[in-house]
Amino acid sequence: MSDVQAQSVRDFVANEARLLNRGRYQDWLGLFASDGRYWVPLGGDVQHESDVHNALANEDRLLLGLRVARLLAGRAHSQQPASRSAHVIQLPLVDQVDDHAAEVYTPFTYVESRGEQQVWLAGHWCHRLRREEGAWRIALKRVNLLNAGAAHAAIQLFP
């Protein structure tokens, strides 16, 4: 693994968090591969990948696109007032990277705020990235919440 490759992956993950924090959901969606998936397993990091149906979210690019369109349309009742988020990430740890693929582990805390309500979550992201047309794209973003199995308030955005 070269230092340049590892740094490009860390920069990608940091930029993803920045896009989410700024509410640039269409740009964020553009980071996903055409077959990319966003998954929040109900069992957190102990849940096996073949058990995808037990999930707080399990969305392919089409479903993510619908959710982003809903958020940006400004007519969703649950978004009056609009939710805002803050992703605070630790240094992404690059487990594997080569010219074509990367796997990254990133601990995070997440705060989602709407009006006077706040949701606070902690956990870690597992990204599987691949190179497409010279750029990193998300093949899988797995969000392992520390308390995944707990009852959660409605999460409107993307931890």
Which residue ranges make up each domain of the chain? 3-145
Digit-coded pLDDT (tens) for 34-54? 999 999 998 888 887 877 778
Per-residue pLDDT averaged across 125-147, rounded?
96
Please tell me which residue, 47 or 22, carries the higher pLDDT value. Answer: 22
39 in Cβ contact with 49 (< 8 Å): no
Asked if the model's pLDDT at residue 1 lies above 70, the reply is no
Per-residue pLDDT averaged across 18-22, rounded?
96
Digit-coded pLDDT (tens) for 66-81? 999 988 887 777 777 8
Q: Can you tell me the distance from the alpha carbon of 79 to that of 68, in angstroms, rounded to the nearest whole number?
A: 12
Name the residue type at position 133. E
**94 phi, psi to nearest 5 deg:** -85, 110
* pLDDT number for residue 9: 96
* pLDDT number for residue 124: 97
* pLDDT number for residue 18: 97
Please tell me which residue, 134 or 152, carries the higher pLDDT value. Answer: 134
Q: What is the pTM of this model?
A: 0.92
- Of the chain, the percentage scoring pLDDT greater than 90 comes to 65
Asked if the model's pLDDT at residue 3 lies above 70, the reply is yes
Domain 3-145 sits in CATH at: 3.10.450.50
Q: Can you tell me the distance from the alpha carbon of 83 to that of 59, in angstroms, rounded to the nearest whole number?
A: 20
Per-residue pLDDT averaged across 132-147, rounded?
96
